[in-house]
Structure formats: structure tokens, C-alpha cells
Amino acid sequence: MAFRLSNDETVTDSIRRIVLEQVDKAADSLGKEKQSGVHNARKCFKRVRSILRLLRTELGNAVYKKENKWFGHISRQLSSVRDAQAMVEAFDRLSATYPELSVNKKQLPVRDWLVERQQSISDKHININKLSQEIAKDLRKNIPKRVDKWKFKHSGFKVLAVGFDRNYRRGRQCMKKASRNGIDELFHDWRKRVKDLWYHCTLLRDMCPDFLDERIAQLDELSDILGAEHDLQVLLQLMDQAAGDIEGIEVLRVCALREQQELRQRGFDLGKLVYAEKPAAMISELSAYWKEWRQKGSLSKSK
């Protein structure tokens, strides 16, 4: 089924189903081609961790911290190869916009250095297939038992309301701080909150598509913008750490900084639309939609 709550289930049953579906997809992905399989598995882990943040108060800090730490740890174990590849992709996106990054249609040597670095990291993780198999086995063996033991304090929309409100407020605050200070870490924090809000709205999408579809599309675009901005942050840090005189580094740094500023401005412009509604008003509207949605479900079942 889709990454969405269903009106045919209780909210807690829906959440358990969705988490276990993501776990199963991750385990399947880890048995496939190394890079794409790892990338897809890590996306599943991000969805699960987003649900955990949504449920933090509901499940309690002890359960939240245990599960979030576990999924974060296995995701980081698999991250190095994908992160190195992302740097090559970031350069390629830049070179499509900035002709300075190529000479006579041939890209500057700095790209060769990035590719060699990616291959070196990949070679060092030659046992990633073995690690992937071990993680997949652990996912299938242990996670269903743990999810089955989750205890929820409430039922209905109350299960989601506190976490949704907290993340929405934090996203607005992160955007304002990033706008005032322009510090890389603040943009990274904002990016994570945007991603969470995207996942949370997607979970609720079937409840009120007319209300959420445009917001989901905006969040998807904003997540891509801030994701590209973050890749440039990492690329710039990598250039600062690079040893030796690699031809093209200074040109790359100038282009990356210019593009980063443009991405940040686009992010702010779109973020103002995404977070235009006050948190209390947002929760009030979602609560009203929830009641209407659940009533429709009850009427449908009674026919």
C-alpha cells in the first residue's frame, strides 16, 4: 500500500502497517544492486525516522530514542558510498548551468578527482553487500516484534497532532533563523524539518487531498531545493579539505557559492508559501478534516 494512512484502519494500525512496509521495502532493496539498493533503503529509513519524530510524545522518549538511534545508525553505516556519488552529481548539475566548469566541452579535472574519490570510497566498502545482507536479516527478524510492542497514549488524530504541530513550528523557526543568520547548519536543520513535513503531509494526503496536494507539491520542490543547497555545502567543505593543487577547484568554489545563494533565495520564497499558515490554524483545519474523513469512513462501512 501507499505511504498513507487508511480510513479502513485505526490510526495506530495504519502506522504499524506503514512502518513495517518501509522496513520490508528496505530489506528487499538491500538485496539488489549496490548503489541503487542502498539509496532506496536509506530513503525507507528516513520515512521511518520521520514517523518516529511524529510520534515522539505519543510513544515516549525512551522508545523514540531507542528506535531513532537504531535506524540512524544503520543508515549511517550505508551512507559513505552514496554521499560520495552525490558529490559527483552535484558537480554535474552545476556544470549544466555554469559553462566555466568545462573547457572545450570537456569538464575540468576537479570532476575526475571527485570520481576517483567516489571509486576509492566504494572500493573501501567492498563488503557493503555483506553488511546489507546482515542489516536486511536484522530488519526482518527484529523490527516487527519491536513495532508490535509500541504503546500509544491516545487514539484518533491525537496520536498525530502534537508531533505534527511541533515539527511545523520548528520548520517555521528554522526558516526564520536561516534567513537571519545564513549559517550552513541552520539550512541543514530547516531541510530536515521540511522533509519531515513532506512525509507527514503525505501520510495524511487521502484525508484532505484538496487541502494538502498543493502543499505536498510545494514541499517536494522545497525539499529538492534545500537538498541541492546542502550538497553544495558539502561540496564546498570538500574543496576546502582537498589536498594539492587540483585544477578547477577555485572555479568550482565560485560557481558553487553563486548557485548556493540562488538556491537559498528560492527556498525562502517558496518557504514563505509553505509556512504561511499559523501552526494553531493548521492543526485546527487538519483536525476538522480528520473528523469529516473518519465520519465518511464510518458511513461507508455501515452501508
Residue 243 has a pLDDT of 59
Report how far residue 142's alpha carbon sits from residue 87's, in angstroms, rounded to the nearest whole number. Answer: 34
Instruction: Categorize the per-residue pLDDT at 104 as very low, low, confident or very high, splitting at 50, 70 and 90.
Output: low
Residues 177-204: tens digit of each pLDDT: 999 998 999 999 999 999 999 999 999 9
| 194: CB partners within 8 A, 6+ apart | 171, 219, 222, 223, 226, 271, 274
From residue 216, how far is each of 97, 204, 223, 252, 255 by CA, in Å?
27, 10, 10, 33, 30
C-alpha cell at 258: 553563486
From residue 93, how far is each of 115, 117, 243, 278 by CA, in Å?
14, 18, 24, 35
Please check the confidence at residue 3 and state whether its pLDDT lies above 80: yes
Residue 302 has a pLDDT of 43
pTM: 0.92
DSSP letter string, 142-194: HHHHHHHT---S--TTHHHHHHHHHHHHHHHHHHHHHHHH--HHHHHHHHHHH
Considering only CA atoms, which of 64, 31, 66 is closest in space to residue 50? 64
Which 8-state DSSP code applies to residue 149? T
Q: What are phi and psi of 37, to 5 degrees?
A: -65, -45
Residues 50-68: tens digit of each pLDDT: 999 999 999 999 999 999 9
Please check the confidence at residue 79 and state whether its pLDDT lies above 90: no
Task: State the fold for domain 11-297.
Answer: CHAD domain (1.40.20)
Residue 33 has a pLDDT of 61
Please check the confidence at residue 23 and state whether its pLDDT lies above 90: yes
Report how far residue 237's alpha carbon sits from residue 78's, in angstroms, rounded to the nearest whole number. Answer: 21
